[in-house]
Amino acid sequence: MIAPSILSADFARLADEVAAVRGAEWLHVDVMDAHFVPNLTIGLPVVEALLGVTDIPLDCHLMIDDPDTWAVRYAKAGAHNVTIHIEAADDPLRIADELRAAGALAGLAIKPKTPLEAYIEVLRHYDTLLVMSVEPGFGGQRFIPEVLDKVRAARRLVDSGELSVLVEIDGGINEETIEQAAEAGVDCFVAGSAVYGADDPATMVAVLRDLAAAAAGRD
Ligand code: DX5
Ligand code: ZN
């Protein structure tokens, strides 16, 4: 699965930019509050507007200080997957329950330096695991290959039946890095600058998907 990140899209032409990635499995929406991360982006009103112009399921990545209050509102609005950061959550189990009760998938994100092992029990309550492969906050950063150890560990837990999460990776994914991530066991690849920096974003989505499938031995 490929999830283009609209962080790298032209915000003045968002509906057109969403249409430009037709064929993508999910559309990744980076919500930043200038507190959890230094950057400030978009919030609930823009997510609601996007829901009105696309059928692509929205994958909302909340890089915010107070997911305990805000996450469920994205689920109620109609987001398909709502991902919160474990580093910001006070009560991650309650958040997961609320997201699922509102009809969304519950996603848990971990920053590059956050260990996976400490959160295995929490992840039993979640549907998706987002492994950050850059420090959250900005698009266009370099991929941090060391996080692939966490991807491999998560893949083993899923394949052995101990966990049931979709493994997602976010940050620095492009034609050069996607194969190693696919080999490590990623299911869903977020890509911002690689997709929206391409001459034809929809073609780049297909190129990335083919590279990942071939590397994972699923082509
Ligand atoms: C970074 C965001 C990413 C970002 C990825 O904090 O979470 O989703 O858009 O952008 P690229 O693919 O350019 O690294
Ligand atoms: Zn993101």
Ligand 1 binding residues, C-beta < 6 A: 5, 7-8, 28, 30, 61, 134, 136-141, 170-173, 190-194
| Cβ atoms of residues 99 and 78 within 8 Å | no
Model pLDDT for residues 98-127, shown as the tens digit of each residue: 999 999 999 999 999 999 999 999 999 999
32 pLDDT above the threshold of 90: yes
80 pLDDT above the threshold of 90: yes
Domain total of the chain = 1
219 pLDDT above the threshold of 60: no
Secondary structure element (H or E) that encloses residue 56, with its range: none
Helix, strand, or coil here: 33?
A: strand
pLDDT of residue 17: 98
- Closest residue to atom 10 of ligand 1, CA basis: 139
- What CATH number does residue 17 fall under? 3.20.20.70
Look-up of token digits 């034609």: 175
Long-range contacts at 194-198 (CB < 8 A, ≥ 24 apart): 195/2, 195/4, 195/5, 195/8, 195/21, 196/4, 196/5, 196/6, 196/8, 196/9, 196/10, 196/17, 197/8
Domain ranges, residue 187: 2-215
Q: Which atom of ligand 1 is nearest to the CA of 8?
A: 9
pLDDT of residue 218: 67
Ligand nearest to the CA of 196: 1
Dihedral, CA of residue 101, residue 19, residue 22 and residue 184, to nearest 10 = -70
pLDDT of residue 217: 87
Cβ-based burial of 76 (10 A; exposed 0-12, middle 13-18, buried ≥19): middle
> pTM of whole model > 0.75?
yes
Model pLDDT for residues 129-182, shown as the tens digit of each residue: 999 999 999 999 999 999 999 999 999 999 999 999 999 999 999 999 999 999
* Mean pLDDT, rounded, of the chain: 98
